[in-house]
Every structure is written in structure tokens, then in C-alpha cells.
Chains A and B, each alone.
Chain A
Amino acid sequence: MTKPPAVSLDHVSKWYGQVIGINDISIAIDGGVTGILGMNGAGKSTLFKLLMGRIRPSKGSVRLFGTNPWESPAPYRRIGYVSESERMYDWMTSIDFVSTLARLHGMTRSEAEFRAEQALSFVDLGDVLNKEVGKYSKGMRQRVKIAAALVHDPDLLILDEPLHGCDPLARTSIMNVIREIGSRGKTVLLSSHILEEIERITEQIVILHAGRLVALGNLHAIRAMLDKHPHRILIHCEDARALASSFIDKQPVYGVRFLDNERLEIMTKDLSEAHSILPALILESGVPIHSIENPDDNLESLLGYLVGDSG
């Protein structure tokens, strides 16, 4: 018998009365870091709640390592979960917090303390073990939560918005931690609504929108597919009209628009092709350039295309 994947959803739907949270999603994830992308309300939290056995699917089946999490808490032995909730037992020290949660896996007290210390050192909190969690900064608290999820060496780590509300420094260190875990061969699921965040961690993504699975796979591959769709390139320059004349008849460009005298918008259906000819054309025209932007390179516009396409 083959090993069941860490996460598998088979035609899962979840609705709350009239509202649909998840709409007919089927995915299987095993190994590596996977980013779950979606706007607020796309169904990320619902998906995680389904995985964590907190809610029951209205239709379809959810399996973690082949077991239904709603019926049995057994798979949680192999799962670490970091929730988006920021509340913790503020009166506990971080070592207490992590080791108490470790003991819920059936470890002895000493084993739990040893593992907790390890986990906290792994997230760079080794020197503030005995400080109360309530006195920590937001990034530190987030890392304590990650340590608590890691303490029993899980095979699957689920992180709900782990970077939310953290300052850039904390963000970087948490990203490093997640990448490190991924490189150890564990399965990691993390959610975010910011594409750029996910991009820095992983290339394997799942995009949800309005409860539907919109895209799945390698970020670059998805992007490349999207490159065939209309894209905009915004160029800031001294003389927009002069520059426009050099683009107007080139192949991937099918439209030009002036926002004002210094800003030029180029429409293209093949982004990479457009970018490859762009430098030569600009040099050729001799117009000084301030900046080049891809305003569509964010989740909103990505979704806009994806949804427009599928719908």
C-alpha cells in the first residue's frame, strides 16, 4: 500500500448556511513548502479549520496522512499548527508554554523540556526562555508559537498567516525558519494574502479565490501561463510621447496609453517577451527613464486575470 499524502482533500466543500467557505476543492500535498494564497475571505482559514478538525466538511473528504481529522485526533501527532490568533497564555514563560504543549503529545516532563529548549533555540529564542510570553514582542510571540508547533518534530507544519503584523526584521527571521524547516523535508503549509511574502519562501503555491481553487503549482509556471494574458508596464520617463513612438509598432506591445506627460503605460500579451525587448528600445530612443514598474505583479491583478479567465 502506498504511503498516503500528508494532506489530501477530495471534492471538499464547506458552507455556512447560505455562505460558501470552500467550494469543491481537491488537492493533495506532500513534501516541501506550499503557500496558500488568497485575499481575505478567500477560504484560507476555512481550509485550515477543516484540516485541523475544528469544522466538518459539508461535502467531500479531508484526510491527513490518510485519517479523517474530524473523527480522530490521531494525525495531530505528526502535525504542528500555528494559528493566526495572537492570544497566548501570557503569564507563562516561553519554555513553560512550549513544554506544556509538548507534554500534550505524551512526552515526559523532562523530555518535553529538553525538546522545548531545542525548539526555542531553533527559532532564535534560546536566550529568553525564562521570560514571560506576555512581555515578548509580536515577532517573538510568533516564533514561540512556531516553536510550540515544532516541538514534537512534526511531519506536517501548518501556519496560518505567520507573517501577519510582523515588522520586516521579524518577518525575515520567520521566513528563514520556515525555509529551514522546508529544507529538512517536512511538509509545510502556510497561508498569506501577500504574494511577495510567499515568493520569498516558496515557489509552490495554491491560489484560492472566493472558496474556489484558482491555481495550483509552481509560481513561475503559473506566471508564465499568465504572461499570455494582457499585462501592463508602467514607465516613468522625461518624455512619454517620444518613448511611445519607439514601442508602438513592436510585436508584443499592442497598446500604449499616456497617463500624463511623464508616464507611459504599455499593454502587452507576453510579459517576458516585452521585458526582453524593452531595454534595447529604451536605449534606442534615448529618453531618460526614472523607473519601470509592473503594476500587475501582485495578487490582486493575478487573481483578476485568473478569475476573469476561469469565470
Chain B
Amino acid sequence: MSRGDRIDSEGRRLATTVWTALDRKAGAIIELTVRQLKNKTSTWTVMGVSVLLLTLLSAFYIDSVREGFESIDNDGDSVDFDGDGYPLGQEMKYGSSDYDEREYPGAAIFIPENQINYWGVRTHSGNYTWQASGPSKFTGSWENISTNYAEYGDECPEIIGEDLANTPYGYSSFACTLADNSVYVQFLRFDGNGTLAVAEGWNAEYGRTTESYYVAPDPPSAYIDEDGLDWDSENPSQSQGFDDDGDCTQEGYYLPTGSQNDDDNRNGVACDVQWIRGPDGSVLQINPDYLVDEDPVDSELLGESSHRSFIIATGKIAFAMIIGIFMPLFLALGLIRDESENGTLHYLLSKPIHRGEFIVYRLSGYLIFTGGFVLAMSLLMAAVTVTLGPDGNRLGDINVWFGIGVVTVLSLAAYGSIFNAMGLASPKYGVYFALVYGVYEFAMAVMTLFGADLVPIISVSHWSLQMIDAIVILAWPDTIMLAQMATAFNLESGLAFFWNPPVHTFGTGSSALAMSLSVVVLLAFITLPVLIGQSIFNRREID
């Protein structure tokens, strides 16, 4: 070695310092790599496709911003299922069924008083509205039957006369006249003054029918956004919310059922929303009682979370997954392989550069080129969303986009060094391994997107997606709240789908820890393959 160092003293002009000479060599290889990449058609194809992809997503985004957010009937009570002109919400208030067109607010309603049970006394007399739920015989004056059926007035088949339970008509609504002038009824409702006898093992109810009166139908729009979020951000108390439309408390209901469970979240307060906050005041969880704040005003709430969801989805899918995995496959696979295949490697290796350094410079060249592109694209996307996003402080957007860019650069580096190490480890099989590995990474990313936290742990994509999750919460601390709101109040923003709280926090829930851990893991994914590749390349005999 000492001899090698002496070379300088033998007439060769010393470089200013070792470092400047190193920089120059590094600069030369990096520049050469960048120029080579620029000379490949596939580079420009890949970049073109990436730009096209981001343009497509931006176009959808711009379109959705232009249209604004339609009010959505989150609880579905504006629908008129039975077509009687009254929406579900109004029918619920009046206690009528929205699945029976004959029942509507103001229509005569049967109010049961008592019943002939499945066992015990089989008959009852009086002037009632009767509801026969099984084979029965009615003797007395028959006033009206509130259901239509064909056979009324006809004579019954003889078989019924013998035994009431011999019903040949199954469970359909039916009535007929028996030989003794009494009436056989099953599964129907009628008014009558007399006695009803019910067959063994069946039952019947009797009660009153209300007078019918006119109720003006509400427009469906009255049941959209009718129960907004009532939430005081200044008040740290856990109990929030107000049942604006009264469907939980059932105040003002014509026929309150009274039996509804109005404390689903079991915090001891009926019809409220439990907001659980962390020590710093950030909302961690939202548990609403059933039918409280269930139909919030979408335009107020969706804007921000849809906007974030778009950024996160684009960052994860377009940047980290598609660009992050396929760009290295196209561009990093050939960094050293192409040189040795083309027979130009010896130009570079017959220079006073260590082979290990050579790999690092080569990867740096690739990374500067692709990383520059990715960062530029992410900042461009930031410009789009900052300009078009909902009003307010949009600094967070820039941070998140920059974070996404950095994450993508890290995965570009990791894949670059992994693919290179594979190529160096096995010139014959390396590319095939890299292809299979690329598909593996893609599959792991899909699994991570769908919430798997253990299976994909040995993959670059898992950690880069988690890093995006962590960056999001660091830049926008209230994302947990928005995601919780989306889940709790049925807001279809996609946020709950594309964003999960970081999982690998060792139970602390700290996203800063998750991010640092992701960075460490990604750096390991970058450096380990480089080291392995270097040691293989140093030992490799190049024919």
C-alpha cells in the first residue's frame, strides 16, 4: 500500500487534496451515468408515462374541485322506498313503514292493545281492529277488511270446516265464508264487532285503528344533512353532539318506540357523541350513539379530508408504488449489467477507482437523475393542490408532498441498490430475481394498503408506505380526527381507506418514532445491498 501511495511522489502532480480528486471522479461517473440515462429511450418513456399518470390524477382532482362536494344522505333517510311520497325520515317520525305503500304519515294506523296468545285462552270478543296471524274464525258483524284479497265472500273448502288448523293456503292473506256464516280469516287485518277464535298454536292481536288525516310530505332534501356535527372544538369534554333531527331521542315523534338503545357508546349519556382526546387535545377516537350526528353537512367536512385523501392516495400509489417500484426496474437494473454486457465496463474499471466506489457513484448518478425527477414532480403536484385545495393554511400540503418525494427517493435508492446487488450476485439470474422481487414488493405494497402490518414487514414498500402515514400525521396532526370522523359519521372521503395510523410504533403511538424507524429500515435496505454488492463485485473476475 505504501508503494501505491508513493506513486504520487514520482513525478505525478498531486491533486489538491484526496477529497477534491475523489469529488472529481465521483462527478465524472455521476455525470456519465446521468448522460447515459438521458440517452436511453426507456428513460423518457418511463418519465412520460409518470407525468401522464400524474396529469390524469390531477385532472380528476381538478374536476372534483370544480364540481364541489355534493351533499350526501349519509344515513339514507331521504329515500322513499315504498313510493308513497313520504321519505323514510318522515315515515319514521310517524311510525309508519317505508316498505308498505299503504302505510304513510297520517294514514290510519293499527295500534295493538292486547293479543290472543299462542297458548292459553283462544277467543276474545269486542269491537276492535283485529290482526289475525294464523288460521282464525270470526263470528259477528264484519265491518271492513283493510286488505284486498280475491276470495272474500266465497265459501270455504270443506276441509277447513272440519278443523280450523287445516289451512290449505299456507301463509297468504285469505278469508272465506264458512257454512255457519261465520268468517274464516288468516294473516289479515279487519275491523269487526264480535268474537275471534284462533287455532291452537297461532296468535292474533286486537286494538284500535287511528283516524286518518293529511300530512304534507316533506321534500327529500329535508332529510339530507339534517343532523350535522355538533362539536365544540374548544370544549375538551368527551360528551359532544346533539341529535338535531331527533331520531335518537325521538322527541316530537308521533309514535316513539321507546325501546331504542340510545347509549351505544356506553358513556352514560343518552344520544351523544363521545370524543376521546389525547393528552395534547388531539382527537383520537369518536364513538357516536346510534343516530346522533349521523348526517353531517358534507361540504363542510368532506372538502378537507377528500383533499388529504387525494394527496395520500397519489403519494402512496402513484409515487411510492408505481414510480417507486417500476422506475428502478427500468433504469437501475442495467447500471452495471449493461456496461458489462456492452463491453464498456473496462473503460471505467481500468481507471484508478475502487470497484466499490464505482458502484456507489453509479447508483448516485441514477439517484440524482430519478430523484430529481421525482422531487420535481412532487413539488409540481404540491403547486396544484395548494392552489386548488380548500381554503386555509396549506403549508402542510407542501410538507406532505415533499415528504412523499423524499420517501419515493428513498425507495428508488433502496430498489436501485437491491436490484444492483442481485445483478452483481448472479449475472445469469439477477434480472429475473429482480423482476420477481419487483412483483413481490408490489404485492406487499397492496397488502400494506389493505392494512396488513406483519406479513409485508420485509419489504421496502411496506416501510415507505408507513413513512408516508407518519409524515401525514406529522404535517397534519388532525388527520386522525378526520379519519375518525369519516369512520364515525359515514363520510366517504377515502381517508380511512388510504391512510392508517402508523403501526410500528412499539405501542407508543408516536408517529415521529414510526417515521424514524422507517427511515432507519429504509437506509438499511439501501446500504446493506450496496455493501453486499461491493463485496461481491470486488471479488468478481470480469472476463
Binding site for B on A (CB under 8 A): 4, 49, 52-56, 65-67, 72-79, 81, 83, 85-89, 91-92, 100-101, 103-108, 112, 148
Contacts and interface: CB of A to CB of B under 8 A. Distances in A.
B350 interface: yes
B384 to A, nearest CB: 35
B343 interface: yes
A73 B354 contact: yes
A74 to B, nearest CB: 4
Interface in B1-54: 1, 3-5, 7, 12, 15, 20-22, 24-25, 27-29, 31-32, 35-36, 39
B484 to A, nearest CB: 56
Nearest to A111: B24
Contacts of A79: 350
A54 B542 contact: yes
B7 A106 contact: no
Given A78-B12, A81-B346, A148-B347, A104 B541 contact: no
Contacts, number: 95
A103 B350 contact: no
B346 A54 contact: yes
A4 B31 contact: no
B351 interface: yes
A83 B349 CA distance: 12
A55 B31 CA distance: 28
B24 A77 contact: no
B29 to A, nearest CB: 7
24 contacts: A4-B3, A54-B346, A54-B349, A56-B541, A66-B3, A67-B4, A67-B7, A72-B4, A76-B350, A76-B352, A77-B7, A78-B12, A79-B350, A83-B343, A85-B344, A85-B346, A87-B344, A89-B36, A92-B35, A103-B25, A104-B28, A105-B351, A106-B22, A106-B352
Nearest to A56: B541
A105 B35 CA distance: 19
A282 B21 CA distance: 69
Given A73-B354, A106-B15, A106-B24, A100 B543 contact: no
Contacts of B39: 91
A28 to B, nearest CB: 16
A4 B39 CA distance: 44
B342 interface: yes
A104 B25 CA distance: 5
Contact of B3 (A67, A86, A92): A67
A277 B35 CA distance: 67
Given A74-B352, A105-B351, 20 more contacts: A54-B349, A65-B3, A67-B4, A73-B349, A75-B7, A76-B350, A81-B346, A81-B350, A83-B343, A87-B343, A87-B344, A100-B28, A103-B27, A104-B25, A104-B351, A105-B25, A106-B21, A106-B352, A107-B24, A108-B24
Interface in B338-383: 342-344, 346-355
Contacts of A81: 346, 350
Nearest to B15: A106
B177 to A, nearest CB: 102
B351 A101 contact: yes
A302 B242 CA distance: 108
Contacts of B541: 54-56
Contacts of A67: 3-4, 7
Contacts of A89: 36, 344
Contacts of A107: 24
Contacts of B32: 100
Nearest to A160: B346
Nearest to A88: B344
B37 to A, nearest CB: 12
Contacts of A49: 542-543
Nearest to B361: A104
A104 B7 contact: no
A87 B351 contact: no
Nearest to B28: A103
Interface residues of B, number: 36
A76 B351 contact: yes
Contacts of A92: 35
Query: What are the 5 A-B residue pairs with the smallest beta carbon separation, nearest first?
Result: A106-B21, A103-B28, A74-B4, A104-B351, A85-B343
B446 to A, nearest CB: 39
A107 B27 CA distance: 11
Given A55-B543, A75-B4, A104 B12 contact: no
A266 to B, nearest CB: 46
A115 to B, nearest CB: 12
Contacts of A55: 541-543
A52 B346 contact: yes
Contact of B348 (A53, A104, A108): A104
B7 A73 contact: no
A170 B466 CA distance: 62
Contacts of A78: 7, 12
Given A55-B541, A66-B3, A106-B15, A73 B342 contact: no
A81 B349 CA distance: 10
Nearest to B39: A91
A35 B5 CA distance: 30
A76 to B, nearest CB: 4
Contacts of A106: 15, 20-22, 24-25, 352
A67 B1 CA distance: 7
A50 to B, nearest CB: 10
B424 to A, nearest CB: 15
A56 B541 CA distance: 7
Interface in B258-290: none
Contacts of A86: 343
A100 B31 CA distance: 9
Contacts of B349: 52-54, 73
Interface-centre pick from A54, A65, A112 (highest chain B CB count, 10 A): A54
Given A65-B7, A75-B4, A105 B542 contact: no
A230 B167 CA distance: 130
Nearest to A85: B343
